[in-house]
Structure 1
Amino acid sequence: MNVCASEISGATAIVEGAGSNACEYMTGGKVVVLGEVGQNFGAGMTGGMAFIYDPQDSFWTVPIPKPCIGRIQHPIGTRCCVI
C-alpha cells in the first residue's frame, strides 16, 4: 500500500515512513513522519498538521506548497518536542 493517512480528519498518526500520496486530502488531525515520504505528499491537504523528520533535507527542496507541514529540526531524542 502506498498511501498513509489519506483523507484523515481528526486522528493522530506516527509512522516510520510514508509512500506516495500520504496525507492526501487531509482535513484534520496530526501526522508525524519519521522517515522518507513519497511523491505527491499532502496533495489536497486543507487542514491538520504534518511534521516530517528529514535530516537529509530531501523533502524541503521539492518546490511544492507546504502550508500545513512542519519540520522536525532536532534529532529525535535530543530535545523535547510537543506535537
Structure 2
Amino acid sequence: MTSKTFRFREYGVNPDETAAPAYQAVCVTGEEADCGADSKDQPDEEALTRWMAEHTSSTGHNRFRRARWDYATVEPGAWQ
C-alpha cells in the first residue's frame, strides 16, 4: 500500500480593487419560458437600470435576474 502526504495550506480570497465590477441583467419574464434577453456587462448600476427600463418599455417585460460581477484574488494566508 502506498502512503501519501497532503499538505494543507490556508488561502485567502480578497477583492481585486484594481478591476471595476460589471453589472448584468437577464429578463426572466415569461410563463412557459423566460424571455432570455441579456444586458451583457454594463459598467455601472445606472447603465443596467437604463437597459432594464428600455427593455420593459419595448416589451412590457418587468422581471429580471440581476448580478454584480466583481474580481477576486486568491493568495496564501488567512481569510480577510
The alignment's TM-score, normalised by the length of structure 1, stands at 0.24
Q: Which has the higher contact order (CA 8 A, sep 6+)?
A: 2
Which protein has the bigger helix share? 2
Query: Which structure is larger by alpha-carbon Rg, 1 or 2?
Result: 2
